[in-house]
Amino acid sequence: MRIVFFLYDGFTVLDAIGPFETLSRLPGAEVTFVAKQTGLVANDNQLIDIYAPQSIDEVDSADILVVPGGTADEAVRNDPHQMDWIRKVSQTTQVNASICTGSLIFAAAGLLTGKKATTHWARYDVLESYGAIPVAERWVDHGDIITAAGVSAGIDMGLHLSAKLAGDDYAKALQLAIEYAPEPPFQSGRVSDAAPETVELVAAMMGGEETPPSPRPLPAKMHRVSRGG
């Protein structure tokens, strides 16, 4: 089973690595990273590069195509070469999967027209502009195409897809293997749970309208708190 992760300069690391941690552990999985050109691909904060050993010109099919989101998805959507490749490879797959704004790339390729889909909540309007129907779900599964919401939702989607491919028991084992048991310190991971000022700050950060506040300095001494007692 060949699993192809499509990378581009400005992708979000967790969008790719979250599902990679589950899908790469499936029996018979052959995972590769591809990009427009072979070489290092910079993430959206320019701090972490991932090596893509193959270019899109060298890959013409896949069993599963995974497209992460990032700050530069628009550049991909405006590049005929990369979009033609997305359309071509997506026709050879069993499943096409996106995380965050990766669904905007699928939508621009015409793969989500008239279908319910999700993306980062701040980009529902862009998704809708391509003819998709935005829904506030962690992931949306149409069988041959799955879209996941923002960033961390890629882990959930990866486990869901793993269950489809290898069964619930194996997916549960993968979840335990990566010790995925979220206990976030704040309940602000959904727009419906977040304070209005938090939503406004995120919208400003993503729209480039405002510089996010600088982190507060850490106290001289910090005490660890164990939730497990």
Is the pLDDT score of 221 beyond 90?
Answer: no
pTM: 0.87
Banded pLDDT at 53 (limits 50, 70, 90): very high
pLDDT digits (tens, 9 = 90+) for 61-78: 999 999 999 999 999 999
Residue spans of the domains in the chain: they are 2-177, 184-213
Q: What stretch of H or E contains 198?
A: helix 196-207
pLDDT digits (tens, 9 = 90+) for 148-157: 999 999 999 9
Q: Of the ranges 37-41, 49-53, 123-127, 180-184, which one carries the lowest mean pLDDT score?
A: 180-184
CA distance 109 to 162: 25
Token representation of residue 206: 């993503």
CA distance 93 to 145: 9
Q: In percent, how much of the chain has pLDDT > 90?
A: 78
CB 132 within 8 A of CB 98: no
Banded pLDDT at 46 (limits 50, 70, 90): confident
HSE-CB at 19 with a 13 A cutoff on CA atoms is: 38
Which CATH class for the 2-177 domain?
alpha beta
- CA 86 to the chain's CA centroid: 16
Calculate the average pLDDT of the chain. 90
The C-alpha angle 197, 14, 105, rounded to 5 degrees, equals 85
CA distance 28 to 208: 42
Give whichever of 41-50, 99-108, 219-228 has the largest mean pLDDT: 99-108
CA distance 101 to 10: 11
Is the pLDDT score of 90 beyond 70?
Answer: yes
42 is catalytic: no
pLDDT value of residue 214: 40
Token representation of residue 90: 């997506």
Banded pLDDT at 226 (limits 50, 70, 90): very low
Catalytic residue among 100, 111, 132, 174: 100
pLDDT value of residue 215: 38
